[in-house]
Each structure stands twice: as C-alpha cells, then as structure tokens.
Structure 1
C-alpha cells in the first residue's frame, strides 16, 4: 500500500499534464456561447462619452448589428480597432461594451483612435460582459434585428474572420428579413 501511495503524485502529475497539453490545442474562437439563439441580456448602463445618457438593450433592437467588447488595456483590441473603423464606414452599426476599464482611459481612447461605435456602454464592473459569457476582450457578437444573438466571435476581428464567418451570417440574416 505504501508503494502505491508513492506513485500517486506521479499519476496525478501525468493526468494534469495530459489535460494541460490538450488545452493548448483548443481554439477559443470555437468555444460555444450559451446565448446564441437567445436575446441580448437586459442591461441599463451609462455611455462612455456621455455619463448622463442611459441606454438599455431595448435601444438596440430593430437592426442587425455588432456588439463589440473592448478595453483600453486589451492589446488585441488595439489591433482590431482599425478594422472596426472600416466595418463602421460600411454602414453596419457597431455598439461597444467598454469592459472593466477606467472611464477617462476609455474616453481618451475613443478620442485618440477614432470611434467606430454608435455608442459605447461603460461596463465598469463587467456585469454585462459576464451576462454575455465573455471570456475576455476582444469579443464580438452578431445580433439580429429582433435582438437575438446569432454568433459569438472570440478574438481579434480581422478580414479572414469577417469574410468567412461574420459577413456571410449578416448577409443571410438580412436576406431572411
């Protein structure tokens, strides 16, 4: 029995190593969202640019749009930002969720790097992001005109993701309208 107990740490180490090794090959962009097919969670938040303006999820219905989770602390968000500007210029509405950030930093970011968003809500405690099932920034959600989440995309939105996943989905949603 004592010999078995001597090998127990080795067995536990090998089992843990197996799961960690397997985790290296998981793609976070392919992680399912429990909210796909469900409405955007209810929220009532202030906007980054105007702390007197309160918006809710009801303000977003009636059009297909992107909901983008970002933060000034997020390196990937800085990489994705110019592409969001291009998408916004195409006419597709984008709404931002500033996730666990400093208000002044978020305001300065939008001033310095240009603002692709119709508006950005200030999610200082991360409650809305948590309700959306966000793992980290950046994450982008495709939402239909009824307020139903159709896709969650985790990671940097780039031309490949846009052309292979997001744009075709948006086109099919609009074709069904």
Structure 2
C-alpha cells in the first residue's frame, strides 16, 4: 500500500506533462466556433458611413465575404489594415463590424488609412460581437453568399494567413454556383 501512495505523485506529474505537451501543438488562433455552418446572427445596427441607416444580416449576403471585427483602439487591427486594403483592391468582399468603438474616431481612421469595407456595422455595445462569440479584435469570419458562417480566424490577417488559410476557402466559395 505504501508503494502505491508513492506512485500517486509520479502519475500526477506524468498526466500533467502529457497535457502540457499536447498544448504545445495547438494554434491559439484556432478556437472552435459553435457558429460554423450556421447563419449570421440576426441584428439591426447602424451603418458607420450613414448612421441613420440600419444594416441587418441580410445586407451582408449576396456574395462570399470576409466579416472583419475591428476597432480603432486595437493596435493589431491597424497592423492588418493595409492587408485588408490590398485584398479589397483585388475584389475580395470585406464587411466590417466596428466593435465597441467611437464612431467618429472610426470614420476618421478610415479616412486616414483608407476604407476596405463595403459595409461597416456599428456595434458600440458589443451585442453583435457577443452573438458572434468574439473574444476581441481583430477576428474575421468567412461567410458564403447565403450568409452562412464557414470559417473563423482570430488575429491579424497577413499575407501568409491569406495565402495559406483564407484564400483557398474564399475562392472555393466564390466558385460555387
């Protein structure tokens, strides 16, 4: 019995070592989303460019698109913004969700740094972000033409992320009839 008690710390150590070892190989940008395969959540929120106009999830349908959650207070959003502008120039449809931000600051930011968004939803209180399961900005959702969420990416989109992960998915959705 004494020997069995002596093995308990060893077994606990080995169990924790296995868990920590497995964690080394997980990509933190790949958090599961319960919304994959489901439609965009219903919303009715102001348009950043025309605040008197309300946008809904139906306004983001029609073509496959990236839906980028961003804010002026987010330094990583600024880092990815140039890439979003390049993508928009090549014809990639990008909609924005301005998340928990000051709308006036957001409009100035887009005027200063160029606006890659075809539509930009104002989510001042974070209600749409909450419904999307947003942890913070930036996060980007890939939706099909019917507004079904097909993929979620957490973090800044750069050339490698676009080329290796998002472009193949986007192009596959674009080629579907």
TM-score relative to the length of structure 2 = 0.85
SS class of match (1:146): coil
What aligned pairs does 1:25-104 form with structure 2 within 5 A after superposition?
25=24, 26-104=26-104
Distance 1:174 1:104 in 2: 34
Does 2:170 align with 1:173? no
SS class of match (2:33): coil
- Number of residues of Structure 1 aligned to a counterpart in Structure 2: 162
What aligned pairs does 1:149-160 form with structure 2 within 5 A after superposition?
149-160=149-160
Distance 1:28 1:95 in 2: 24
Shift of residue 24 of structure 1? 7.7
What aligned pairs does 1:143-154 form with structure 2 within 5 A after superposition?
143-154=143-154
Shift of residue 74 of structure 1? 0.4
Cα displacement string for residues 116-143 of structure 1 (whole angstroms, at most 9, x for unaligned residues): 0012111000000110011110011110
Q: 5+ residue gaps in structure 1?
A: 1-10
TM-score relative to the length of structure 1 = 0.85
What aligned pairs does 1:105-116 form with structure 2 within 5 A after superposition?
105-116=105-116
Distance 2:149 2:28 in 1: 18
Do the aligned residues in 1 keep the contact of 2:73 with 2:101 (CA within 8 Å)? yes
Q: 5+ residue gaps in structure 2?
A: 1-8
Distance 1:73 1:174 in 2: 32
Shift of residue 62 of structure 1? 1.5
Distance 2:117 2:170 in 1: 18
Do the aligned residues in 1 keep the contact of 2:63 with 2:174 (CA within 8 Å)? no
Q: CA RMSD in A?
A: 2.1
Distance 2:47 2:146 in 1: 22
Do the aligned residues in 1 keep the contact of 2:83 with 2:158 (CA within 8 Å)? yes
Distance 1:118 1:124 in 2: 19
